[in-house]
C-alpha cells in the first residue's frame, strides 16, 4: 500500500483539477467532490477494485465512500462487470422495452412487498420528484412535508432545508427556486412526531405526502427514534396523506428489503437507487397498484425517460440484486459485523486520544460526528465541529483512507472490506487523531 504524506504526492490529480476547472463550475460535476468542506485538493480517481480506490498518481486508499453507497459488493465485482460487458455487446441503449426490465423488477418486488408496481428512471432525483407528482395527483393536494437535513435530489421543491451538499455548503435552500414552489414544502425536524402532528393540524386536507429518508444519510447517518416511523405511518393514514419512503440510500443496504424490512414499514410509495443499479445510473419509484396505475399510459400522470430501463443498468442491477438475494444471510451478517468492529474500534481510539466523537450507525452505513452530544436530527448534527472533521479527513486521506468529504455525509463499507482493511483503517485513525 502506498500512501501520500502531503498533497505533493498528488501532483497529477492537481493538474487534472486545474484542467477540469476550465470546463466545470468548481472543476466538478457534483459539488461535494470539490472538497471545499474539508480543504485540500481532491484526488482524481483512476480505478478501483474491491475495497480499494486508486488515484491518478498511483496512491491507493481504503474506500468508505463506495460511489456514495452502491458498491455494496465492492468495486468492479466480477459478476457485475461480466453482466455489463455481455449487455454492452448488444448495444448500450435501445429506447425500447427489454425483458431485463421485468427481470430486475421481479427481483426488487420479491424484496419489497410494498412495490406492487414500479417504474425505472435514471436517477434518485427523478424517482423522488415523480413520486411526489404522483402523490399530488392521487390526493388532489399540493403541500409536501419533508425533514430538515433529508436530501431527496435537486428538484425545486425538495431543496428546502435539504441535507447532503446543501448542508455541506451551508445553503438554506437554493437560488433559482421560486418562492411559490418553496412555500409548498414544509421542512420539519426529524424524529419529532409532535411537529408533524402540528403541521397536519395546521393544514387540514392540504398535505399530499410526507417524504423522508427512513435513516437519514444526507445530514450524516441519523437513525429513527423508536416508534417514529410507525408514528408517521399512522399519522399519514389518519389524515389522508401518502407516506413516501426514500430508500435511494438505505435500499438493499440496511437489509435485503431495506429500511422497510428493518423497521417493518409499509409505505404508500418507495424510491430506490444506487445499489439497484449496481453502480450504474438507476432510480426506481413504485408502490401500491392503485397509485401506480395513475401513470401514463394508464392514467393522467405523465412521466417518461429515454434512458429509463437502460439495458446496461438493468444488467448490473440484476447481477447485484440476485447476488444479494442468493447470499443474503452471509452478506448482511458480514456487513453488520465488519461495521460494528470498525465503529467500536474508532470509538476506542477516540476515547484514547481524548477526542469528542459520537458514532451513529445503522448496518453498514455510519457517520463519525465530531461532537460529544447525541445526534438525533439535523440541528444537532449541525453543532458538530466541522473544522475538526476537515482536519481528520485530510489526515485520513494522507494515511490512505478515503472518507466522504463532508461531516454531513454517511460513510459505507462493502463485503470486500475485511480484517486487513479494518486494521489499516484503525491504525490510520490513531495517527489522524494525533494530528488533531
142 is catalytic: no
Average pLDDT over every residue of 346-370: 97
The pLDDT, as a whole number, for residue 176 is: 74
Residues 6+ away with beta carbon under 8 Å from 348: none
Query: Three-state DSSP class for 75?
Result: strand
Active-site hit among 190, 274, 332, 398: 274
Percentage of the chain surpassing pLDDT 90? 89
* Distances from the Cα of 231 to the Cα of 139, 192, 234, angstroms: 20, 10, 5
Active-site hit among 61, 64, 151, 228: 151
Average pLDDT over every residue of 17-31: 94
The pLDDT, as a whole number, for residue 179 is: 81
The pLDDT, as a whole number, for residue 127 is: 97
Confidence of residue 161 (pLDDT cuts 50, 70, 90): low
Q: Please tell me the distance from the alpha carbon of residue 48 to that of residue 66, in angstroms, as a whole number.
A: 10
Per-residue pLDDT tens over the stretch 31-61? 899 999 999 889 999 999 999 999 999 999 9
**Could you tell me how many helices (H) and strands (E) the chain has, helices first?**
15, 14
The pLDDT, as a whole number, for residue 317 is: 98
* Distances from the Cα of 210 to the Cα of 121, 184, 198, angstroms: 21, 12, 14
Domains and CATH numbers, the chain: 7-64+328-435 (3.90.1150.10), 78-326 (3.40.640.10)
Take residue 23 and report the three cell numbers written for it.
Answer: 470546463
Average pLDDT over every residue of 135-163: 87
Active-site hit among 246, 268, 385, 398: 246
Per-residue pLDDT tens over the stretch 404-414? 999 999 999 99
Average pLDDT over every residue of 252-264: 98
* Least reliable range by pLDDT among 66-75, 168-177, 365-374: 168-177
On the question of pLDDT at 336 being above 50, the answer is yes
CB 53 within 8 A of CB 63: yes
Query: Three-state DSSP class for 17?
Result: helix
Confidence of residue 173 (pLDDT cuts 50, 70, 90): low
57 is catalytic: no
How buried is 103 (Cβ within 10 angstroms: 0-12 exposed, 13-18 middle, 19+ buried)?
middle
The pLDDT, as a whole number, for residue 183 is: 86
Average pLDDT over every residue of 350-363: 96
Per-residue pLDDT tens over the stretch 263-291? 999 999 999 999 999 999 999 999 999 99
103 is catalytic: no
Amino acid at each position: 500500500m502506498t500512501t501520500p504524506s502531503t498533497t505533493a504526492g498528488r501532483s497529477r490529480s492537481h493538474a487534472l483539477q486545474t484542467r477540469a476547472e476550465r470546463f466545470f463550475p468548481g472543476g466538478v460535476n457534483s459539488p461535494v467532490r470539490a472538497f471545499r468542506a474539508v480543504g485540500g485538493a481532491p484526488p482524481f480517481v483512476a480505478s478501483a477494485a474491491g475495497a480499494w480506490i486508486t488515484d491518478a498518481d498511483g496512491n491507493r486508499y481504503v474506500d468508505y465512500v463506495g460511489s456514495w453507497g452502491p458498491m455494496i459488493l465492492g468495486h468492479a465485482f466480477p459478476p457485475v462487470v461480466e453482466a455489463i460487458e455481455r449487455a454492452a455487446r448488444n448495444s448500450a441503449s435501445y429506447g425500447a422495452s427489454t425483458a431485463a426490465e421485468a427481470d430486475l423488477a421481479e427481483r426488487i418486488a420479491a424484496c419489497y412487498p410494498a412495490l406492487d408496481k414500479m417504474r425505472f428512471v435514471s436517477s434518485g432525483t427523478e424517482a423522488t420528484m415523480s413520486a411526489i407528482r404522483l402523490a399530488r395527483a392521487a390526493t388532489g393536494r399540493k403541500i409536501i412535508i419533508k425533514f430538515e437535513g433529508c436530501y431527496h435530489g435537486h428538484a425545486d421543491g425538495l431543496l428546502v432545508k435539504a441535507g447532503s451538499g446543501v448542508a455541506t455548503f451551508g445553503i438554506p435552500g437554493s437560488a433559482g427556486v421560486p418562492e411559490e414552489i418553496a412555500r409548498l414544502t414544509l421542512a420539519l425536524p426529524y424524529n419529532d412526531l409532535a411537529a408533524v402532528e402540528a403541521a397536519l393540524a395546521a393544514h387540514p386536507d392540504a398535505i399530499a405526502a410526507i417524504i423522508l429518508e427512513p435513516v437519514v444519510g444526507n445530514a450524516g447517518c441519523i437513525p429513527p427514534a423508536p416508534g417514529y416511523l410507525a408514528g408517521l405511518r399512522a399519522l399519514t393514514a389518519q389524515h389522508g396523506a401518502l407516506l413516501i419512503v426514500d430508500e435511494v440510500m438505505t435500499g438493499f443496504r440496511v437489509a435485503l428489503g431495506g429500511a422497510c424490512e428493518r423497521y417493518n414499514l409499509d409505505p404508500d410509495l418507495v424510491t430506490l437507487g444506487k445499489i439497484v443499479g449496481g453502480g450504474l445510473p438507476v432510480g426506481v419509484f413504485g408502490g401500491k397498484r392503485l397509485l401506480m396505475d395513475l401513470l401514463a399510459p394508464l392514467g393522467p400522470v405523465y412521466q417518461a425517460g429515454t434512458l429509463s430501463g437502460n439495458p446496461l443498468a438493468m444488467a448490473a442491477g440484476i447481477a447485484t440484486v440476485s447476488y444479494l438475494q442468493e447470499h443474503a444471510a452471509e452478506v448482511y451478517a458480514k456487513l453488520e459485523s465488519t461495521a460494528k468492529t470498525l465503529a467500536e474500534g474508532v470509538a476506542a481510539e477516540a476515547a484514547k486520544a481524548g477526542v469528542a466523537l459520537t458514532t451513529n450507525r445503522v448496518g453498514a452505513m455510519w457517520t463519525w460526528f465530531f461532537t460529544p452530544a447525541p445526534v438525533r436530527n439535523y440541528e444537532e448534527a449541525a453543532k458538530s465541529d466541522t473544522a475538526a472533521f476537515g482536519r481528520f479527513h485530510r489526515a485520513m486521506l494522507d494515511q490512505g483512507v478515503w472518507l466522504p468529504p463532508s461531516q454531513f455525509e454517511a460513510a459505507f463499507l462493502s463485503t470486500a472490506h475485511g480484517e486487513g482493511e479494518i486494521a489499516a483503517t484503525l491504525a490510520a485513525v490513531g495517527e489522524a487523531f494525533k494530528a488533531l
